Structure 1
Amino acid sequence: MMKAAEIMTKDVATIRGAATVVEAVRMMKEKNLRSLIVNRNHEQDAYGIVTETDVVSKVVAFGKDPKQVRVYEIMTKPCVIVNPDLGVEYVARLFVNVGIRQAPVIKDELLGIVSMSDILLRSDFIEQPKALILEQKIQESIEYARTICTQKGPTSPECAVAWDVVEELQAEAAHQKVQKLEKTAFEEYCEEYPEAISGRQYENWCSG
């Protein structure tokens, strides 16, 4: 699974919040960028972001003089940030949920910027689709859980922990598909071994 740090652009263009929109547009044109990160004023301050959409919707659309408008007047601050260790599919989901196209990658300091284009052009979602990898992990975890339960017993703590792992993976797969998980692999296992429920810390886990 690729991470944000692996697909981000490390050479980040930054600008002062007090700069004019003219300065921001010139920098965007020179560097062929759609957004700029707005610098912090001190360590406790937040980073901001100004995009081409901000310029068009807040300056051009109202006929304002870009020489008289400052970046801080149209920027978003604090902006959505991405942890460099975040998986690419979660970066994509974050962008969709929040309605953005790019975000700075930050961990203690500004490390880079990641965009929709980076996800499309630099990630391995075509070669390594998350859904298939996740399904493979689920099947492997189910096999492992059944093996452990056979060795240690269906009521053992080891068996319970192994099924916890399976259910977390299944929950993630269901969330990714936006589907309700009708029956977990552990519930199916309980139909074969009803005593397994006694090894769990939860009540009413098995349906049968």
Structure 2
Amino acid sequence: MLRASDIMTDEVATIRGSATVAEAVKLMKFKNLRALIVSLRSRKDAYGIVTHTDIVNKVVAYGKDPANMRVYEVMTKPCIVVNPDLGVEYVARLFALTGIRIAPVIQGDLLGIVSETDILYKGDFVENPKVPLLRRELEKAVEDAIAIAKTKGATSQECIDAWALVEDLEAEATYQEGVQSPDTTPFQQFCLDHPEILKIRHQHHEPELVEVDQILV
């Protein structure tokens, strides 16, 4: 599965918030960039971003003089940032939900920048669409869980962990597809034949009770 760090553009241009919009446009043209990251004033500061769209919509559209406007007047700050380990499909989902088209990739420091173009041209969604891949992983996980139940027992910790993975994959696949959960999941079907697993798993998830005397000590 590709991550944001696999498709991001490493070269990132930064600009001060106090710079003029004219300077920002000049830098964008020189480096052929669609966005600039607004540099931090201190370690406690937040990153900002200024894009082509910001300048067109807030400066050009109103006939304002870019030489008399500052980047901080048109930028977005704080901006939405992406973790380098985030899966590409989740980067795309983040873009879809927020309406952004580009975001800095940050983990402590500024590592790169990722855009819709990176997702489209560098992603592997054509060769490896997420939902079919998840369904294949789910089928394999169900087979593994059933095999573990036969060899180590339905109430073994290995079996409980295997079915927990199945449930996670089932939930993720259902979420990705945007459909309702099936009437009977593989785990629910397994429980019909092995109801004892529910009791064991419930015991594992019960919170540990602490004596009142221990709390007061």
Question: Is residue 2:186 matched to residue 1:185?
Answer: yes
Offset of 1:197 from its aligned partner?
Answer: 2.0
Distance between the aligned counterparts of 1:165 and 1:18, measured in 2? 50
Structure 1 unmatched ranges of 5 or more: 203-208
What are the superposed Cα offsets for residues 60-113 of structure 1, whole Å, 9 maximum, x if unpaired? Answer: 122211111100011001111111111111111111111100100011100100
| Distance apart, 1:39 and its partner CA | 0.4
Distance 2:202 2:65 in 1: 65
Query: Percent of aligned pairs with the same residue?
Result: 56
* Corresponding residue of 2:44: 44
Q: How does 1:55-204 map to 2 (within 5 A)?
A: 55-182=55-182, 183-201=184-202
RMSD of aligned C-alpha atoms? Answer: 1.3
Give SS of 2:112's match. Answer: strand
| 3-state SS of 2:82 partner | coil
Hey, what's the Cα distance between the residues in 2 that align with 1:70 and 1:13?
17
Q: Which residue of 2 aligns with 1:19?
A: 19
**Amino acid of the residue matched to residue 99 of structure 2?**
G
- C-alpha separation in 1, matches of 2:161 and 2:202: 10
Moved more, 83-92 or 187-196: 187-196
Q: SS at the partner of 2:113? A: strand
Number of equivalent positions: 202
Q: Is this contact kept in 2: 1:157–1:199, CA < 8 A?
A: no
Q: Distance in 2 between matches of 1:69 and 1:59?
A: 8
Q: TM-score scaled by structure 1?
A: 0.93
Q: Supply the AA of the counterpart residue of 1:37.
A: I
3-state DSSP of counterpart to 2:27: helix
The residue type paired with residue 194 of structure 1 is P
Give the Cα–Cα distance (whole angstroms) in 2 for the partners of residues 32 and 25 of structure 1.
10
Three-state SS of the structure 1 residue aligned to 2:12 is coil
Q: Structure 2 stretches of 5 or more lacking a match?
A: 204-217
TM score, norm. by length of structure 2:
0.89
